[in-house]
Amino acid sequence: MKEQLKVLYVDDDLINRKLLAKILHKNPAIYEALEAKDGQEALEILNKNRDVNFVLLDIIMPRLDGIATLEAMRKDPRFKDIPVVVLSTDDTQKTRAIEAGANDFINKPIKESDLNEKIEKYSL
Q: What is the pLDDT of residues 37-84, one digit of tens each?
A: 999 999 999 999 999 999 999 999 999 999 999 999 999 999 999 999
- Mean pLDDT for the stretch of residues 73-99: 94
Distance (Å, whole) CA 102 – CA 122: 12
The pLDDT of residue 1: 39
Instruction: Give the pLDDT score at 64.
Output: 96
Q: Is the pLDDT of residue 2 over 70?
A: no
What is the total count of domains within the chain? 1
State the pLDDT confidence band at 90, using cuts at 50, 70 and 90: confident
- Domain extent at residue 57: 5-122
Here the CATH number for the domain that contains residue 57 is 3.40.50.2300
Average pLDDT, the chain: 94
pLDDT at residue 13 in the model = 96
